Structure 1
Amino acid sequence: MQKISGKSVQNGTAIGKIKVYTKIGTPVKRIHVNNAVAEILRVEKAVNQAIMDLQNLYKIAVNGAGEDSAAIFEVHQMMLEDEDYNDSIRNIIEHENVNAEFAVARTNEIFSDIFASMEDEYMKARAIDIKDISNRLIHILTGEEENILSDLKEKVILIADDLTPSETVQLEKSMILAFVTVHGSLTSHTAILARTMNIPALISVPIENINELDGKIGIIDGKEAVLYIEPDDNTIEFYEKAVLEEEVQKKLLLELRGKPTVTSDGKEIHLCANVGNIGDIAFAQSNDADGIGLFRSEFIYLGSKDYPTEEEQFQMYKQALQLMEKKKVIIRTCDIGADKQVDYFCMDKEENPALGYRAIRICLDRVDFFKTQLRALFRAAVFGSLSIMYPMIISLDEVKRIKEIVSEVQTELETSGIPYAKHVEQGIMIETPAAALISDELAREVDFFSVGTNDLTQYTLAIDRQNGKLDSLYDKHHRAILSLIKMAADNAHANGKWIGICGELGSDLELTKTFLDMGIDELSVSPGMILKVRKRIMEL
């Protein structure tokens, strides 16, 4: 028996035969050509075909994993249309008189190396996206079929050197028990897709001689981030019991749908869902969310090629409210910046983007942009129970300036005779130590707090949460973080305001009791965690 440790992308247990995924295709050869123009035309035709393929992949991903996860294929389309990328291919063909396949392969090496050499972990992970679009073009140019494992006859544990987003989304999920990759990162789009698909997965597993594993029996322990190869009888027996227990737990959780989230002594907690777009609301509803505790409006901007108009945003917010009927929907204003960059925002490169020009700082600097979103929000609020939440607050002056801009927007709507909701609940995120420390003053100016524990953790501990080298220091249960949350909760309640948690810690079952003891009024978690958290609360 061999035991190999890696990093867990998605918890869960799987036992089954291993299938090794190997990418087909012969190495691209350098061939001298006499007609460079013809080769450039071949590339242009291949790019158009690739974009059509990606549009089909987007539809598949939306149906299988939601719009949030499918967005990567829109990003890949934009990358295929990138001038620098295409200019590189054309220049290599023209200056070296080589075949289109070689020019694409050479451009892939150049751009992949650029991304891979970057210090930022998120940007490093984009190297796989460059490889994905380049391989797609080469497949089209050579006429080779992609090996998507669509003809599997039995359920398997899929092991690969790496998996691109398009490979992952096209897998027949009903035949995949789990997957393991030798490379990859926790912030890659593949990891995001794995979590959305709810498939147990490990990455960064140092497997040698990967092809020798094909057909062998394997076990994935997602919780402990371990892969077992050819396990002994005792190990198999232990994990077979774990698989059965997980199935029983899934069935028991389904019985909690429709039940109130109340502790055994009668304390009720609002249990809501975090979503990235309209498509995710179906997941929230199927898991019986009490409402939407965090609607990440920045994904509207990430999925657009230009600033979304007021009307486009209004229609999206209106649809979200109508889908949730009378349940509360808390929409966070645009939180672009840090690891969420948008080209058309034309922002300068920053040495420390997480500490830089982002979120409310952009909104208060680009007031017209901010007003466009606010107008759409106040107009949509007529159609349901909408609350607005402002991110990355560090001062009382920011809150007062926001209120001034809101007043201006309402006056503009009133003057124009456009229907809007005059009384909309407005709150702020507590995700900086500064906001927590002055939460007594802030509570007097807003209607509620929602704690963004991901950023609060990284700012309190001075640890970049995108940096995998610091994982051992990233202590989510650090007493300083819990003290700041407790301080914000006390100050909220002292001023008659409610407080929720919408960050990752909200779904940490080890802290559920701690948060209830603090008096936290609402927990907002990923849709797949709602029933698990409800079960935990009902046991307290």
Structure 2
Amino acid sequence: MIQGIGASMGIAIGKSFVLPNWEWEVPDNKVDVADFAREFERVYEGIRTSKFEIQQIKDELREVVGSDESQIFDAHLAILDDPVFMNEIQGIIQRQYKAAEVAVKEAIDHFVTMFDLLDDDYMKERALDIKDVGNRLLKHLLGVPEVTLPSDTQPFILIAKELSPSQLAHINPDHVLGIVTLAGSITSHSSIMARALGVPLVVGVEASLTEPIVTGQTLIIDGSDGTVYIDPKEDIISLYNELHDRQTEAKRKLQHFAECNAETPDGKFLRLEANISSLKELEIALAGGATGVGLFRTEFLYMDRSRFPKEEEQYEVYRSVAERLGGEPLVIRTLDIGGDKQLDYFEIPEEDNPFLGYRAIRISLDRKDLFKTQLRAILRASIHGAVKVMYPLVTSVDEIRAANVVLAEAMRELDAEGIPYDRNIPIGVMIEVPAAVIIADLLAQEVDFFSIGTNDLLQFTLAVDRMNEEISHLYDPFHPALLRMIKTTVEAAKERGIKVGVCGELAGDMRALPIWLSLDVDGLSMSAHSILPIKERLLSTRQDECREVWRNLQQCRTSSEIIGKLEAFMELKDEQTANG
């Protein structure tokens, strides 16, 4: 047995296929000054072809995993458009009289080495993106075929030194049972895509290997805990076959709960909604029993293009989602860009700390023309369903009032044009910064509902960037400070009589369910795959027993104590279920 890092859940059992390195030997060919123009044109043509291929991959992948994960390839397109990358290639051709393919190979090596030397795991992962893009460009310059996976054999477990997003995009889940990479991390683009595709993945096994894995060996991989067995004994195979069958059966049984009302045995109804960014994700969510959309991330309508979407384009998307929901709620969050979400065609000044800078509602209030266009589209869609509008990253009453002024202007314009809309469209805010929690009683007097964004609220409360590997262990969703902030927010909403829900990752964490039931929140919005497991547990959990759990939690001083009590409660519920 060897140990890696579980990066995408699931069990896979099958024969290994070792993927050759996606790299080629490049002869050190020289050129004359007279050949420079021809070599430059070869590079330009290779870039054009590579960009076309990447865009095709992105478009195809969007239909499988949705817009969010397909945005990974925007980083690849950006590398090919990066003047620094291009200048490095041109400089090598001109200074060293080297052919295009040699210059590209040396430029790749230069940047990959530079990124690998940085003491930052995130930047090391970006080195793989550069290698991926560079090798694609090299493929065209050398005229060699791309390394492909076998498609005419039995399903296999793929083994690679590291797996690029481009290679992963071509994986057919029907052929690939699972993946093991020698390097990599759970934050890599490939890991994100594997999770979206539902393919079990274990990364970082190189340190545990005493000899290389070869094609044809029998493997068992567990993407939950990172365990890998090589040529296991029959008893181990039998054990994991049984575990795999249990997981498959559990998923099948969960589907029975899709049509059930999300209500506890003592009558508490909890609306279980989905976080989406595309119509594709909506269909997956509805199949999984979602009763509405608690968070429509509209920024993804803005990302996959070269200009801002027009009002009509936005309206058609919002209308389609509202109609498909058939009267169930649709919460549309207004544009939330900035921070880690950038638009190629909208330049945001470089900032020392973009997460605390020019982003979200701040951009909307600064660019009221863009804001009003979006609000008009939302208002027009509001007659097609139960549409609500929600402002992100609000920190003051002034921001809500300023946003509502723009909303009122959009309403007056639609009135003048004779265009119908819901005049009483509900207005809400994201509670995702400590300032909003502290003045939650004031904000509750201005809006119709709150949605607690636990991801950002936790990061801002604990001053922890969860993507920073050096401090990611401090990203603690059961920290007593976060639970107190959530309690304060819910109480402020209840005092004012407005609805309050949760839309961060904690909403889909099974352990947190007693917290939401005891605080009497109105709804949870989560990724589609979390809805049915949460609903199953909800149907067998009484609200009154959760209130007792919450009273015990408030005596805890550490997150480990809190987690211990919540897990003990889960074990008790499991025992009760098993005993009928």
TM-score (norm 1): 0.93
Change in Cα spacing, 1:260 to 1:73, as seen in structure 2 (3 Å) is same
How far apart, in 2, do the equivalents of 1:11 and 1:42 lie? Answer: 43
Match of 2:60 in 1: 60
Determine helix, strand or coil for the equivalent of 1:511.
helix
**Inter-partner Cα distance in structure 2 for 1:205 and 1:292:** 39
1:144 aligns with 2:181: no
CA offsets 1:433-469 (integer angstroms, 9 cap, x no match): 2212221111111111111111111111111111122
Structure 1 residue 251 corresponds to structure 2 residue 252: yes
2:350 maps to what in 1?
A: 349
Matched to 1:126, the amino acid is R
Shift of 1:296: 0.7
Q: Deviations over 1:389-411 (max 9, x none)?
A: 11112222222222222222222
Q: Tell me the SS of whatever aligns to 1:539.
A: coil
Q: What is the CA-CA distance between 1:115 and the residue it aligns to?
A: 5.2
In structure 1, how many angstroms separate the alpha carbons of the residues matched to 2:210 and 2:221? Answer: 18
Match of 1:375 in 2: 376
Which amino acid in structure 2 is aligned with residue 96 of structure 1? Q
Q: What does residue 553 of structure 2 align with?
A: none
Matches within 5 A, 1:146-225: 146-151=146-151, 153-207=153-207, 208=209, 211-225=212-226
Letter in 1 for 2:481: A
The equivalent of 1:30 in structure 2 is 28
| Residue identity opposite 2:2 in structure 1 | K
In the alignment, is residue 47 of structure 1 matched against residue 47 of structure 2?
yes
Q: Partner of 1:255: helix, strand, or coil?
A: helix
Residues 1:496 and 2:494 aligned together = no
Distance 2:382 2:285 in 1: 20
**Does structure 1 conserve the Cα–Cα contact (< 8 Å) formed by 2:159 and 2:181?**
yes
2: CA distance, partners of 1:286 / 1:84: 46
- Letter of the 2:53 counterpart: D
Change (3 A) 1:97 1:206: same
- Residues in 1 aligned to 2:253 and 2:152: alpha-carbon distance in whole angstroms: 31
* 2:330 corresponds to: 329
Name the counterpart of 2:540.
Answer: 539
Q: Distance in 1 between matches of 2:314 and 2:119?
A: 35
Comparing 66-75 with 387-396, which one deviates more in the overlay? 66-75
Following superposition, the deviation at residue 239 of structure 1 comes to 2.3
CA separation in 1, counterparts of 2:402 and 2:349? 25
| Counterpart residue type for residue 101 of structure 1 | E
Q: One-letter code of the match for 2:177?
A: L
Change (3 A) 1:236 1:97: same
Deviation at 1:493, TM superposition (A): 1.3
The structure-2 alpha-carbon separation of the partners of 1:154 and 1:334, relative to structure 1 and needing over 3 Å to count, comes to same
Aligned equivalents of 2:519, 2:112: Cα separation in 1: 47
* Paired AA for residue 3 in structure 2: I
Note the C-alpha offset of 1:116.
5.1
Q: Is the 8 A contact 2:7 2:224 kept in 1?
A: no
- Superposition pairs of residues 77-476 of structure 1, within 5 angstroms: 77-113=77-113, 122=122, 124-151=124-151, 153-207=153-207, 208=209, 211-476=212-477
Instruction: Say whether residues 1:485 and 2:486 are aligned partners.
Output: yes
Q: Is the 2:461–2:482 Cα contact (8 Å) retained in structure 1?
A: yes
Deviates more, 1:408-417 or 1:512-521: 408-417
Contact 1:20 1:158 (8 Å CA) reproduced: yes
In the aligned structure 2, how far is the partner of 1:115 from the partner of 1:384? 49
Range with bigger deviation, 114-123 or 27-36? 114-123
What is the deviation of 1:24? 4.3
Q: Please say if residues 150 and 171 of structure 1, whose CA atoms lie closer than 8 Å, have aligned partners that are also in contact.
A: no
- Do the aligned partners of 2:63 and 2:280 also contact (CA within 8 Å) in 1? no
Query: Residue 117 of structure 1: CA displacement?
Result: 6.0
Which stretch shifts more, 228-237 or 253-262?
228-237
Which residue is equivalent to 2:574? none
Find the aligned partners of 1:210 and 1:442 in 2 and give their Cα distance: 61
Whether the 8 Å CA contact 2:58–2:70 is kept in 1: the answer is yes
Q: For the residues of structure 1 that align with 2:69 and 2:87, how far apart are their CA atoms?
A: 29
Q: Relative to 1, partners in 2 of residues 1:155 and 1:244: Cα closer, same or farther, differing over 3 Å?
A: same
8 Å contact kept, 2:365–2:371: yes
Q: Is the 8 A contact 1:150 1:172 kept in 2?
A: no
Identity among equivalent positions (%) equals: 38
Give the AA of the match of 1:109. D
Structure number with bigger Rg: 2
Q: Residues 215, 38 of structure 1: CA spacing in aligned structure 2 closer, same or farther, 3 A cutoff? A: same
* Alpha-carbon distance between aligned partners in 1 of 2:349 and 2:127, rounded to the nearest angstrom: 21
Q: Work out the CA distance in 2 between the residues paired with 1:121 and 1:393.
A: 32
- Name the residue aligned to 1:17: 15
Unaligned regions of 5+ residues in structure 1, if any? none
Letter in 1 for 2:180: V
Match of 1:528 in 2: 529
- In the TM superposition, residue 38 of structure 1 has moved relative to its aligned partner by 1.8
- 8 Å CA contact 2:465–2:472 kept in 1: the answer is no
What do the CA deviations read for 1:151-204 (whole angstroms, capped 9, x no partner)? 251222222221111111101211212212233343333222112111122233
- Relative to 1, partners in 2 of residues 1:189 and 1:106: Cα closer, same or farther, differing over 3 Å? same
Confirm or deny: 8 A CA contact 1:36 1:98 kept in the other structure: no
- C-alpha distance in structure 2 between counterparts of 1:480 and 1:210, whole Å: 47
Cα distance, 1:121 vs structure 2: 5.7
1:325-380 Cα distance to aligned partner (Å, 9 max, x none): 32211111111122222233212222222222221122222222222222221122
Structure 2 residue matching 1:126: 3-state secondary structure:
helix
Does the 8 A contact of 1:270 with 1:523 survive in 2? yes
Amino acid at match of 2:21: K
Alpha-carbon distance between aligned partners in 2 of 1:467 and 1:346, rounded to the nearest angstrom: 25
CA contact (8 A) 2:69 2:192 kept: yes
What does the per-residue CA deviation read over 1:495-537, in whole Å, with 9 as the maximum and x for residues that have no partner?
Answer: 1111111110011001112211111111111111111111111
Quote the Cα distance in structure 2 between the aligned partners of 1:195 and 1:257.
Answer: 22
SS of residue paired to 1:18: strand
**Maintained 8 Å contact 2:120/2:469:** no
Give the TM-score taking structure 2 as reference length: 0.87
Q: Comparing 469-478 with 88-97, which one deviates more in the overlay? A: 88-97
The aligned length equals: 538
Alignment partners' CA distance in 2, 1:143 and 1:358:
44
In structure 2, relative to structure 1, the CA distance for the partners of 1:396 and 1:244 (3 Å cut) is: same
Distance in 2 of aligned mates of 1:79 and 1:315: 32
Structure 1 stretch displaced more, 231-240 or 41-50: 231-240
* 2:204 counterpart letter in structure 1: S
Closer, same or farther in 2 for the Cα pair 1:24/1:335, shift >3 Å? closer
Q: 3-state SS of the aligned residue for 1:458?
A: helix
Counterpart CA distance in 2 for 1:370 and 1:204 is 44
Q: 8 Å contact 2:288–2:532 — kept in the other structure?
A: yes
RMSD: 2.3
Distance 1:357 1:202, change over 3 A: farther
Distance 1:228 1:356, change over 3 A: farther
Equivalent-residue separation in structure 2 for 1:493 and 1:351 (angstroms)? 38
Stretches of structure 2 that go unaligned for 5 or more consecutive residues are: 542-580
Q: Please give the alpha-carbon distance, in whole angstroms, between the structure 1 residues aligned to 2:219 and 2:159.
A: 10
Q: Distance in 2 between matches of 1:60 and 1:209?
A: 39
Question: What SS does structure 2 have at the residue aligned with 1:9?
Answer: strand
2:278 and 2:456 map into 1 onto residues whose CA distance is 21
Tell me what 2:4 maps to.
Answer: 5
